[in-house]
Structure 1
Amino acid sequence: MGRTLTKNFRSSLTFAPDEVHEVLQQKIAEENRHALESSTPQTRDFEHELLATAHYTSKTNILSLFSGAGGLDLGVQLAFLVAKYGEEKAYKIFTDEASFKSLSADAHIVYSNDLFIAANETYVANFGSELVKDSRDIRKVVTFPQSDLILGGFPCPGFSAAGPRLLDDPRNFLYIHYIRALMQSRPAFFIAENVKGLMTMANGQVLEQIIEDFAAAGYQVQAHLVNARDYGVPQLRERVFIIGARNDIVEKTGFTYELPEPTHGPDRDLPYITLRDAIGDLEFSDVSEVFDGSYSSMYMSRNRKKGWDEQSFTIQASGRQAPQHPGGEPMKKLGKDSWKFQGEFNRRVSVREAARIQTFPDWFEFSDGGNQKVSKNNRLNEQYKQIGNAVPVFLAEKISRPIAKFLLEMKPSQMNETLF
């Protein structure tokens, strides 16, 4: 999460819109100069190739930033299938790799950017090699391609009391580069995801300013806090989604993003999905994909085991911090910040079980980085990290469904008109 803002932090939420836009333009111009200065003939040739990447006027062209293993991207592709074929058929298609890949072409991923090597290998293996996979630091990307939709969860930024605005902080804030991509690419919509804590940093002022900065790029912006289990994910996981619709799209079509109603829970049509539903059939499967390291005092300071008929704790981006498998006896509380295991069956969830809890399909494979010189646990951790950092696929599908439906129906000419 980075450093929390101190009491000396000065908000600029009272800035007039034109002042916000001016500061943003200055910062984006500065970052564009930095990217250009760091470029080489080789990277410029790469970007020339990138700009020549095929775009399809009959499809939605997607640009993915901070893409990781692609949970958000996969969920958006599923949302397009739901919009086209209906939920029941789309979710059935989703379970079969060949069918899903052949029928999800309406959501065409043009470009993906991330620094994480193993995640990039995973992404290409599962989304195909036709897209442009960029493994450079996003701060060094000079030119982003045109798109209809940008996806990505920028890392939760660290903040200081150094300046009057987030954009004036001397450190590079990666969400700025998300905005930089928006201003170059001009998609009709964007979807960004972040941790729950973003909503409460500096009593909400940080999120307000981020929304203000995205809005200054020409978008109507909303932020929503959701819990994954309310949307069919067997996991207690609260996240913030920041949704943006380009101003001229809103003005010309009247589109307003409405957060889909929760689908699962006591007062909903469907019950919560449980660990038994998600991984019950894997109980006696091969456990070679289980991180088997020791447990720290921090790990043992609280309950780490949910029951079969509950939802999992949040899947962390770490094998060592993976929650316990629900089998066996529950953990026993000894006192404040002290728990212990009971019985003989106690282990972390496996890589595949964690992926199931994050609602990835079984055909989706995760790279371990391929370095056979490091330990098994280190290789497994590369996979746990990708899975824990991902947006749960079914949550991404539900959140993006209204946008997917709109983009399937919208004429490309209407989307390509811009205000700037």
Structure 2
Amino acid sequence: MIDLFAGCGGMTGGFVAAGFSTALAVELNPYAAATYAANFGEDHVRQVDIATVSAAEVPRADVVVGGPPCQGFSSLGSRNIGDPRNQLWREYVRVVRAANPKIFVIENVDRFLRSPEFALLRAEVDGGSLAGYELTYGHLNAADYGVAQRRRRTIIIGSRIGPVALPEPTHGRGEQDALPVGLLPWAGTRTRIAELPERPDTTELPRITTTFFGRPVPGVFSGLDLHLGRRPTELSLRRYDCVPPGGGRFDLPTELLPRCWREKPSGTTDVMGRMRWDAPSLTIRTEFFKPEKGQYLHPQWEADEPMRRVNRPITHYEASLLQDFPADFRWCGTKAEIARQIGNAVPLGLSRALGNQVAAALR
């Protein structure tokens, strides 16, 4: 396989678990590329702008995977169709043409299917440079594949060996006895983070560096190295203490509301939210350590026992586990850079389902 815009390796991790090996990975960010190399080897990784990788440098491969940057399509951004990052799918297509894979897979935000770029991609398949491939596409939710996180993404599979269906869900929302035969209930956050210390010992990463691609980077870190606390203000702690599992900013008394929330009585329902033990988290974004950005408060909270409340956002380690990374996954970079890698990654349960589906089609 070839992994483009590889990030820290979320897509590669799932495909490797499905039996693939990587011939080439391309990632521009030096910290994400270092994390990728720490887990999957440095020899096949190019830490460069994808536009600088010539066709002659692209190996043949059975599969090309990747998630071209999607900020221009994101509902969190300005949704500027002229954003130059939206055009990076063209570089993806160029590498697909050079590698001539039997199958390619694109992962992107859910609104990608409504973008002008997706229309152009279909035109390339209908008679352009990707003629001969058949597309299958749709929206998949990571929770439907055993990930303890509700994360809805666009998945596009192109194949020149016959259509490849999107993988069938293995999990569903609801109690076991109410689900169709063969489906398991969605995994709750309890299955990933319940055994971790409720109060982290430190707010800082260990002071170690490792050299990748000829330059030193912070790391390599793993496990409890990433179980990092913060130092919230007294006001923040008072706000956290008011929010029950599944709740959010609407649970705060008026005197604790910042002006911006007092003046906006609707919308942004998940901010200052608390997770629930028995349900998947909402989407883990790149600033999961800021409760004002989403539903990122630790799920432990008991109405009748204030001393049994964990009033903090989730840690980097907890976020990585909710993204389905293994406990021993290795990370490089600063706290902010590692958070960005975690939030931008494809959850491994979802990529593993895709890898298994593609492997079955190739067989």
Say whether the fold is shared (TM-score over 0.5).
Answer: yes
1:286 is displaced (CA, Å) by: 3.7
Unaligned runs of 5+ in 2: 74-80, 203-226, 237-257, 262-267
Tell me the distance in 2 between the aligned counterparts of 1:271 and 1:170. 39
The answer to whether the 8 Å contact 2:164/2:361 transfers is: no
1:117 is displaced (CA, Å) by: 1.0
Q: Where do residues 122-271 of structure 1 align in structure 2 (5 Å cutoff)?
A: 122-131=35-44, 133-143=45-55, 144-156=58-70, 158=72, 171=84, 173-201=87-115, 206-215=117-126, 216=128, 217-218=130-131, 219-246=133-160, 249-250=161-162, 256-265=163-172, 266=174, 267-268=179-180, 269-271=183-185
Pick closer, same or farther for the CA change 1:236–1:404 going to 2, 3 Å: same
Q: Which amino acid letter does the alignment assign opposite residue 64 of structure 1?
A: D
The answer to whether the 8 Å contact 2:64/2:103 transfers is: yes
Q: Which amino acid letter does the alignment assign opposite residue 111 of structure 2?
A: G
Q: Which amino acid letter does the alignment assign opposite residue 360 of structure 2?
A: K
Please give the secondary structure, in 2, of the residue aligned with 1:194: strand
The answer to whether the 8 Å contact 2:275/2:281 transfers is: yes
Decide which structure has greater strand share: 2
Q: Where do residues 264-343 of structure 1 align in structure 2 (5 Å cutoff)?
A: 264-265=171-172, 266=174, 267-268=179-180, 269-284=183-198, 286=200, 288=202, 289-290=227-228, 292=230, 302-318=271-287, 319-320=289-290, 321=293, 323-329=296-302
The answer to whether the 8 Å contact 2:272/2:297 transfers is: no
What CA deviation, in whole Å up to 9, does each residue of 1:254-273 have, x standing for no partner? xx212222111232421110
Q: Where do residues 311-390 of structure 1 align in structure 2 (5 Å cutoff)?
A: 311-318=280-287, 319-320=289-290, 321=293, 323-329=296-302, 345-368=310-333, 379-390=334-345
Please give the secondary structure, in 2, of the residue aligned with 1:282: coil
Please give the secondary structure, in 1, of the residue aligned with 2:166: coil
Pick closer, same or farther for the CA change 1:66–1:293 going to 2, 3 Å: farther
Tell me the distance in 2 between the aligned counterparts of 1:257 and 1:350. 38
The answer to whether the 8 Å contact 1:287/1:350 transfers is: no
Pick closer, same or farther for the CA change 1:301–1:393 going to 2, 3 Å: closer
Counterpart for residue 18 of structure 1: none
Pick closer, same or farther for the CA change 1:272–1:124 going to 2, 3 Å: same
Q: Which amino acid letter does the alignment assign opposite residue 356 of structure 2?
A: R
Q: Which amino acid letter does the alignment assign opposite residue 383 of structure 1?
A: I
1:300 is displaced (CA, Å) by: 9.2
The answer to whether the 8 Å contact 1:291/1:381 transfers is: no
1:209 is displaced (CA, Å) by: 2.9
Tell me the distance in 1 between the aligned counterparts of 2:123 and 2:231. 44
Pick closer, same or farther for the CA change 1:391–1:240 going to 2, 3 Å: same
Tell me the distance in 1 between the aligned counterparts of 2:64 and 2:358. 12
Q: Which amino acid letter does the alignment assign opposite residue 325 of structure 1?
A: H
1:287 is displaced (CA, Å) by: 5.0
The answer to whether the 8 Å contact 2:142/2:152 transfers is: yes
Please give the secondary structure, in 2, of the residue aligned with 1:109: coil
Tell me the distance in 2 between the aligned counterparts of 1:300 and 1:223. 29
Unaligned runs of 5+ in 1: 1-61, 81-106, 160-166, 251-255, 331-340, 369-378, 410-420
Equivalent residue in structure 2 for 1:116, among 19, 29, 38: 29
Counterpart for residue 38 of structure 1: none
Tell me the distance in 1 between the aligned counterparts of 2:5 and 2:157. 16
Tell me the distance in 2 between the aligned counterparts of 1:224 and 1:262. 13
Please give the secondary structure, in 1, of the residue aligned with 2:193: helix
Counterpart for residue 222 of structure 2: none
Farther-moved stretch of structure 1 (149-158 vs 68-77): 149-158
Tell me the distance in 1 between the aligned counterparts of 2:309 and 2:187. 27
What CA deviation, in whole Å up to 9, does each residue of 1:359-401 have, x standing for no partner? 1111111112xxxxxxxxxx21211111111100011111232
Pick closer, same or farther for the CA change 1:171–1:264 going to 2, 3 Å: closer
Counterpart for residue 10 of structure 2: 71
Q: Which amino acid letter does the alignment assign opposite residue 174 of structure 1?
A: L
Pick closer, same or farther for the CA change 1:343–1:286 going to 2, 3 Å: closer
Aligned length: 283
1:305 is displaced (CA, Å) by: 1.0
Please give the secondary structure, in 1, of the residue aligned with 2:123: helix
Tell me the distance in 1 between the aligned counterparts of 2:307 and 2:7. 36
Tell me the distance in 1 between the aligned counterparts of 2:90 and 2:340. 24
The answer to whether the 8 Å contact 2:72/2:83 transfers is: no
The TM-score with structure 2 as length reference comes to: 0.70
Percent of aligned pairs with the same amino acid: 31
The answer to whether the 8 Å contact 1:194/1:239 transfers is: yes
Decide which structure has greater helix share: 1
The answer to whether the 8 Å contact 1:304/1:313 transfers is: no
